[in-house]
Amino acid sequence: MYSYKNKNLYCENINLNDIAKDLGSPFYCYSSKILETKYKELTNALKEEDSLICFSLKANSNQSIIKTFSALGSGADVVSIGELKRALKAGIPANKIVFSGVGKNANELIYAIKNEILMINVESVPELKQISVQASNLNITAPISLRVNPDIEAGGNEKISTGKKQDKFGISIKEAIDVYELASNLDNIQIKGIDVHIGSQINDLQPFEQTFDCIVKTISKLKDKNINIEVIDIGGGIGINYTDEDALNINDYAALISKKFRSLNKKIIIEPGRFLTAESGILVTKIIYIKENESKKFIIVDAAMNDFIRPSLYGSLHNALPLTEDNNEKNIESYDVVGPICETGDFFIKNFKTSKLSEGDLLAITNVGAYGSVLSSNYNSRPSITEIMIKEDNYSIIKKRQDIDEMINQDILADWQKIKG
């Protein structure tokens, strides 16, 4: 829902140049309409299935984002007690929350068990035993699923691969039956489901099909052992089109789910994050300087890798739109869009081709609604930036810009450094 009107870039019905004048830059902007559209696109594709969408909070954990999905009936996939508390505070019912992650500590497990969440996705035998101990101490039965690792190559960036045997995630598919049998004999454990997640930004159906086949075979083997599975959690990983990728067709993905699982009569859980949020977000930033050397031109903007680290961390590709449109195709320039931080890795786009730009112009870096703000930091003592959400003719600040003094005052002097009066 980003488009040009009278040469100004709009989000829904709001002129982003006007917002920039009011708030300054940089800032994140999210379209409520896009968030709702992506959620409904997925629910419509899955309308014939007994399914639950559990929004993956790791993609974007702002309360307003979570609340948007909560109002649409979404559950949540969380990986920390912080995310669990965020989900509950935003109105997601505990019985729609799954708890993932390889390192849940005792306090996190206790909190999850006490709140009677839908299930805990177990990633190791030690974790399984710890859940049994804590659930027994509380005299509560803890519903669990085992996250299995199918040793399948999902493609894409190796830093977000999670389903190969050398990855830290899950229990080897070869050991899964034995671990399920162990779980069936532990106190205060209820076997509820099976879970798998092979990676992120996947735009090919083949890895999903291979994974789903592994799950079907495992469920069949469990049935032979009289171990019943009620829920199949197939994780997330649905890719999007950042620049010129062929994004996964969501209807083809849903058809594959139906083909592989419908005859089993199990509830299907899906944990999308990027798919639901990435396209909703832009990062608005102002050009400070345009610098040219003997090999290229640089646009130096006021946002930096501390605000949006994906290009630096993953080598991810993004596009940008000038907030003021110029259709002069004879005046195209090529720039590297970089930030002010003292690292070569502080860049957003390389070889960005656009109409000639000037200092003071504003750019919108696109598709940053997932893994943007949540990965930000105060590196170089740069305060966190404003975030806003737009709905039709209205916008609201959903995270205020951090004050520099507030940031510095988070530090505490050692006792012997304090002035004694």
Backbone angles phi, psi at 183, to 5 degrees: -60, -35
Tokens representing 302 are: 């006021």
Angle subtended at Cα 29 by Cα 25 and Cα 32, rounded to the nearest 5 degrees = 160
Among this protein's residues, is 54 annotated catalytic? Answer: no
Backbone angles phi, psi at 318, to 5 degrees: -135, 160
* Largest Cα span, the chain: 76
Instruction: Please state, in angstroms and as integers, the Cα–Cα distance from residue 162 to each residue in 97, 241, 285, following that order.
Output: 21, 21, 33
Beta-carbon contacts of 408 under 8 Å, excluding residues fewer than 6 positions away, are 381
Within 139-249, residue ranges assigned H as helices are: 176-184, 205-224
Helix-then-strand count for the chain, H and E = 12, 21
Report the distance separating Cα 392 and Cα 32, nearest Å. 8
Q: Is-contact 359 1, C-beta < 8 A?
A: no
DSSP 344: T
Within 90-138, residue ranges assigned H as helices are: 106-114, 125-138
Backbone angles phi, psi at 74, to 5 degrees: -70, 150
Report the distance separating Cα 79 and Cα 97, nearest Å. 11
Report the distance separating Cα 377 and Cα 355, nearest Å. 32
CB atoms within 10 A of CB 246: 9
Hey, which residues are catalytic here?
Answer: 342
